Amino acid sequence: MNTKFSGLPDPPALGDGFAKFPHGAAPLLALHDVVLREDSPLTVGERELIAAYVSGLNACKYCFNAHVGIAKAYDMDEAIFKELLKEVDTTPVDDKLKPILKYAKKLTLEPA
């Protein structure tokens, strides 16, 4: 039995969470659209790369694979994702992304 999310299957999928907490689904999806799709100095592919990276750090396979798939559709090289989780500095991504990725890692792993 899943002790973290009682009432959800083990392991839970995103749709299970939306079904269990429907009041949270719409605001979460609206935020997703603003952050990942509205005007930004970063491309959609770069933002999906960051989202995939954070999902990988969180060990969320569902979100990681979803963001990788979308990033690939926006011309990001699939080969960089596993390398990125090992070491940001040596991953062949645009240098402007490296400080952002390092900050995202810090916020994800050490939010305090």
DSSP assignment string, 30-77: HHHHHHHHSS-SS-HHHHHHHHHHHHHHTT-HHHHHHHHHHHHHTT--
Q: Residue 41 class from Cβ within 10 Å (0-12 exposed, 13-18 middle, 19+ buried)?
A: exposed
pTM for this entry: 0.83
Quote the pLDDT of residue 5: 65
Residue pLDDT, tens place only, 75-99: 999 889 989 999 999 999 999 999 9
| Rounded Cα distance, 107 and 76, in Å | 23
Quote the pLDDT of residue 66: 92
Same domain, 102 and 78: yes
Same domain, 76 and 34: no
Range of the domain at 84: 42-109
20 band by pLDDT with thresholds 50, 70 and 90: confident
Q: Minimal CA–CA distance to 70: which of 98, 88, 50, 84?
A: 50
Residue pLDDT, tens place only, 30-55: 998 999 999 999 999 999 999 999 99
Same domain, 84 and 30: no
Domain membership flag for residue 4: no
Quote the pLDDT of residue 47: 96
- Mean pLDDT, rounded, for 6-15: 78
Same domain, 51 and 31: no
| Rounded Cα distance, 54 and 64, in Å | 8
**Residue matched to tokens 């907490």:** 21
| Rounded Cα distance, 75 and 86, in Å | 21
Quote the pLDDT of residue 9: 81
Count of domains forming the chain: 2
Q: With beta carbons less than 8 A apart as the criterion, state whether 12 and 5 touch.
A: yes
Quote the pLDDT of residue 71: 95
